[in-house]
Amino acid sequence: MAMTRGGPVRVVASVGAAVAAGRFTSSTVSSVSLGGVYTVGERPQGNSTSDWVPSYDPAVARLYALPQRHSSRAQQRLNYAAKRQPWLIRGMTTESAVEAVEAGEIPVLKGTGEGDLSQQVTRKYLIGKTQEELEGIALSFGEQKYRGKQMHQLIYKNKIRTVKELAQIPKQLRDAMESAGWNIGRSPIHHVATSKDGTVKILLRLDDSRLVEAVGIPVKDKEGNAKLTVCVSSQVGCALKCAFCATGKGGFARNLKSHEIVDQVLTIEDIFRQRVTNIVFMGMGEPLMNLEAVLNAHRTINKELLIGQRMMTISTVGVPNTIRRLAAHKLQSTLAISLHAPNQDLRSQIVPSAKGYPLDALLEDCKYYFETTGRRLSFEYTLLAGVNDQREHAEELATLLHQWDLGRHVNIIPYNPIADSEFERPTKARVLAFVETLSKRRVTTSVRVTRGLDANAACGQLRNEFQKTPLQAPMELSVPA
Ligand code: SAH
């Protein structure tokens, strides 16, 4: 592929080339675009993802009544989407929903969304429990209340991994708890990769042998204080398939349970022997597709691990009807929106799920979030050479952010090359020009320094190396000394 370093035009990727050549016009896109019929519907309230699926939903009913001329595969996928993720298709006409499914634009969660967790049905996890709840558990076994406080300390501070190893707790209580199915909820470390800059990427092997990634990123702040950020995953894989993301390429397996999210933080603290200062939900998966577990993990990290809400960032590409739901929780954490493009046309080429959630609707929901929580949002923008990194894109982005007045901070992420992708990383000059254009328009930026490139820095990359399909780990463990 032709590439002129530092030159004005870099033909780098099929999408980029098409955009550069003007082949991707809005009409090409709108032939499958759903924007025109999208309506903001409210997802029913409930406690788990399955509760969100209403027993009767007109969108579901309509899709079940699809005429048979559609391919049985499309019919099947659509029924699946209708059952499990009706909010993704609500408001679409049947025709456009069929088109969208056939074009692969509706992320269809394969499997049950729970994974093969038959083992876990009777399992109960202590991670996530408050001190009061742990005291209640101790009392329920006829033990004294203070055992709960001890367990709290041992689990969250000492990071004991199994009930058996809770040495201060009487053996009788440990045995009784184990027989009753209580686990702490820690997963074995399957692999650790350390990069020269100190970044550590880990793979945890979950109960169903699936692998999930977490990254520990040590930094010094301006005052020279040691900070430790953990990039946590919220799902095993991801259904949303952003064009440049390694996680999406590996497919989607299941949502993480809240203890599996908290475990990532505990493990990184353990490896670094240092307190974690910041959490970013920017690992594998889309946090808002697993909102309940993410909220529970957020609570535990805040209340039990004592990491401030303001030290946490939840990053989303945007999932219909979830931002408003999140707003109701009035978190003091930052909501970061993965924008990646300043307009709907370009965005929907890079982020396929944007076709079902147009930019205007997303920003409308962001506005609601800001008004409800009082927290400004931040925006992420992955710079892809020749695709979305021109000065005009920066100008248009600045205009968009001023127009919506939601926040004026953009976190620029120069593309991290991943396997099987034709995108290219922009030159330093191009990144600087983008930053400069934004700053002239009073938009502040931070450019994400690529950490741990030698340890497969991009999301989902390490996992993909170990586990493509099926998303199950080989049985051998490689635990570092
Ligand atoms: N699903 C969430 C979290 C994804 S990871 C979201 O979309 O926000 C966090 C950020 O890294 C997202 O903005 C994502 O688009 C970006 N990202 C993923 N792969 C990347 C890559 N190879 N290079 C640069 N940024 C990438």
Cβ contact 338:316 at 8 Å: yes
Cα-to-centroid distance, 61 and ligand 1 (Å): 35
326: nearest Cα among 290, 280, 278, 300: 290
Cβ contact 91:358 at 8 Å: no
Cα-to-centroid distance, 383 and ligand 1 (Å): 11
User: Can you give the pLDDT at residue 333?
Assistant: 96
Residue whose token pair is 């025109």: 36
- Kindly tell me the sign of the dihedral angle through the C-alpha atoms of 90, 94, 96, 98: positive
Give catalytic residue positions.
Answer: 213, 459
Cβ contact 479:189 at 8 Å: yes
Q: Any idea what the Cα angle at residue 251 is, between residues 62 and 322, rounded to 5°?
A: 55
Q: What is the pLDDT of residues 160-197, one digit of tens each?
A: 999 999 999 999 999 999 999 999 999 999 989 888 88
Q: Does ligand 1 come within 6 angstroms of the Cβ of 143?
A: no
Report which residue type is found at 372: T
Q: Does ligand 1 come within 6 angstroms of the Cβ of 282?
A: yes
Report which residue type is found at 165: E
* Mean pLDDT score, 53-80: 48
Cβ contact 415:10 at 8 Å: no
Query: What mean pLDDT, rounded, does the chain reach?
Result: 78
Q: Does ligand 1 come within 6 angstroms of the Cβ of 370?
A: no
Ligand 1 nearest-atom number relative to CA 418: 22
Total number of residues shown for the chain = 481
Ligand 1 nearest-atom number relative to CA 317: 7
User: Can you give the pLDDT at residue 420?
Assistant: 83
- The residues, any chain, with a CB within 8 Å of residue 214's CB and separated by 6 or more, are 201, 202, 204, 230, 231, 232, 233, 264, 265, 267, 268, 283
Cα-to-centroid distance, 284 and ligand 1 (Å): 9
Q: What is the pLDDT of residues 252-276, one digit of tens each?
A: 999 999 999 999 999 999 999 999 9
d(CA 481, CA 320): 44
Ligand 1 nearest-atom number relative to CA 380: 13
From 238, 240, 242, 291, mutation site for ligand 1 pocket: most ligand atoms within 8 A of C-beta: 242
Assess whether pLDDT exceeds 70 at residue 339: yes
Atom 17 (ligand 1): residue with closest C-alpha? 245
Q: Does ligand 1 come within 6 angstroms of the Cβ of 243?
A: no
Q: What is the pLDDT of residues 111-151, one digit of tens each?
A: 444 444 343 346 899 999 999 999 999 999 999 999 999 99
Assess whether pLDDT exceeds 90 at residue 464: no
Percent of the chain with pLDDT over 90: 60
**CB atoms inside a 10 Å sphere around CB 23:** 10
Q: What is the pLDDT of residues 196-210, one digit of tens each?
A: 888 899 999 999 889
Q: Does ligand 1 come within 6 angstroms of the Cβ of 286?
A: yes
* Residue 250: pLDDT band with limits 50, 70, 90: confident
Residue whose token pair is 């394969």: 110
Cβ contact 276:387 at 8 Å: no
Q: What is the pLDDT of residues 406-419, one digit of tens each?
A: 988 999 999 988 88
**Three-state DSSP class for 3?**
coil
Atom 5 (ligand 1): residue with closest C-alpha? 282
Strands 252-255 and 235-237, how do they pair?
Answer: antiparallel
DSSP 147-200: HHHHHHIIIIIS---SGGG-TTS-HHHHHHHHHTTEE-----EEEEEE-TTS-E
d(CA 247, CA 279): 19
Assess whether pLDDT exceeds 60 at residue 218: yes
Ligand 1 nearest-atom number relative to CA 421: 22
Q: Does ligand 1 come within 6 angstroms of the Cβ of 416?
A: yes
**Three-state DSSP class for 28?**
helix
d(CA 471, CA 350): 25
User: Can you give the pLDDT at residue 465?
Assistant: 52
Assess whether pLDDT exceeds 90 at residue 467: no
165: nearest Cα among 157, 179, 176, 154: 154
Q: Does ligand 1 come within 6 angstroms of the Cβ of 234?
A: no
Cβ contact 383:430 at 8 Å: yes
DSSP 449: P
Q: What is the pLDDT of residues 25-57, one digit of tens each?
A: 222 111 111 122 222 222 223 333 222 222 233
Q: Based on C-alpha coordinates, what's the Rg of the chain? A: 23
User: Can you give the pLDDT at residue 23?
Assistant: 26
Q: What is the pLDDT of residues 270-306, one digit of tens each?
A: 999 999 999 999 999 999 999 999 999 999 999 999 9
Tell me which of 361-365, 386-390, 459-463 is least confident: 459-463
Cα-to-centroid distance, 438 and ligand 1 (Å): 21
- The residues, any chain, with a CB within 8 Å of residue 107's CB and separated by 6 or more, are 85, 88, 239, 240, 241, 252, 352, 353
- The residues, any chain, with a CB within 8 Å of residue 228's CB and separated by 6 or more, are 216, 217, 218, 219, 268, 269, 272, 274, 275, 276, 277, 278
Atom 18 (ligand 1): residue with closest C-alpha? 245
Q: Does ligand 1 come within 6 angstroms of the Cβ of 334?
A: no
Percent of the chain with pLDDT over 70: 68
Cα-to-centroid distance, 400 and ligand 1 (Å): 21
* Residue 13: pLDDT band with limits 50, 70, 90: very low
Assess whether pLDDT exceeds 70 at residue 215: yes
Q: Does ligand 1 come within 6 angstroms of the Cβ of 214?
A: no
Atom 11 (ligand 1): residue with closest C-alpha? 282
Assess whether pLDDT exceeds 90 at residue 449: no
Measure Cα distances from 468 to 211, 233, 253, 461, 464 in Å: 10, 17, 11, 10, 5
Q: Does ligand 1 come within 6 angstroms of the Cβ of 288?
A: no
180: nearest Cα among 106, 229, 124, 100: 124
User: Can you give the pLDDT at residue 248?
Assistant: 86
166: nearest Cα among 183, 188, 187, 145: 183
DSSP 39-51: --PPPPP-SSHHH
Q: What is the pLDDT of residues 79-108, one digit of tens each?
A: 666 666 555 555 555 666 666 666 655 555
Measure Cα distances from 26 to 107, 387, 410, 418 in Å: 22, 15, 25, 28
